[in-house]
Amino acid sequence: MKKTCIVTGGSSGIGLSVVQLFLENDYQVFNLDLKSSHVGEYRQCDITNLDQVARIIEAISQTNNIDVLVSNAGIHFSATIENTSESELDKVFGINVKGAFAAIKAVLPNMKANKQGAIVLISSEQALVGKPNSFAYSLTKAALASIAKTTALDYASFNIRANAVCPGTIETPLYHDAIDNYCQKSGANKEDIHREEANLQPLGRLGQPEEVAELVLFLASDKAKFITGSLQVIDGGYTTR
């Protein structure tokens, strides 16, 4: 019998790579995203609508044991605290943190009943180090790291593990959107900025979403059954500096 994995934000970037890799490893994968996708079993879902998230996951749990949740849905936002409005903070927090809260809360009854489960949150290296012009984004990614640790402690007795993956600069559509926005505002050349970003990494390149997906799959597997409450960095060595 196939194991079941739920991925939030699985229609592009890291999320899409996670969906594809879990499918290749014989999982039944449900993708909760506003953006439609033909990869996996797509469920249209606004991750900021907590009631909708709960209803969709409840429907899935009626016919499936939920083995894995990958809480990946998120957005990027660049600004200092002074240049962040309350509505902008609410938007970033609502998607990045409250979306994770809703998904985790919804899968826990099923996982508790089955006395097993793996939860993987996609955080960021910014949970560990500060970056300029990144107040709201860094705040939410640090919150996800905290959620992984507290959830790991609260549900260890049910054999439910929770870990956070902390990617560095990964070449995704989100990355390219951020670079495009910066270049549009600053007039900088995109190729130059792309090269500079790569050179900031000790390994001299950007990470790829498929590499992050491999780490997520490992954390969800029995090979990682003694790993919980951890922050797993995948950043080409950036945070070692």
Q: Which CATH superfamily is domain 3-170+208-234 in?
A: NAD(P)-binding Rossmann-like Domain (3.40.50.720)
Using an 8 Å Cβ cutoff, are 184 and 207 in contact?
A: no
137 given a catalytic annotation: yes
Answer whether residue 241 shows pLDDT above 90: no
pLDDT at residue 1 in the model: 83
Give the mean model confidence (pLDDT) for residues 195-202.
93
Local confidence band at 230 (pLDDT 50, 70, 90 cut-offs): very high
What's the predicted TM-score (pTM) here? Answer: 0.96
Find the largest Cα–Cα distance for the chain: 55
Catalytic pick among 27, 42, 137, 155: 137
Look up residue 20 and give its two tokens. 């594809």
pLDDT-based confidence at 19, cuts 50/70/90?
very high
- For the cut 90, the answer to whether the pLDDT of residue 210 exceeds it is yes
Say what the pLDDT of residue 98 is: 98
* 46-67 residue pLDDT tens: 999 999 999 999 999 999 999 9
The CA distance from 224 to 227, in Å, is 5
Instruction: State the Cα–Cα distance between residues 30 and 25, nearest whole angstrom.
Output: 14
Statement: residue 177 has pLDDT above 90: no
Residue of 30, 168, 146, 160 lying closest to 96 (CA atoms): 146
At residue 169, does pLDDT exceed 90?
A: yes
Within the chain, which residue ranges are assigned CATH 3.40.50.720? 3-170+208-234
Taking residues 16-42, report their average pLDDT: 98
What is the average pLDDT across 34-57?
A: 97
State the burial class of residue 74 (Cβ atoms within 10 Å of its Cβ: 0-12, 13-18, 19+).
buried
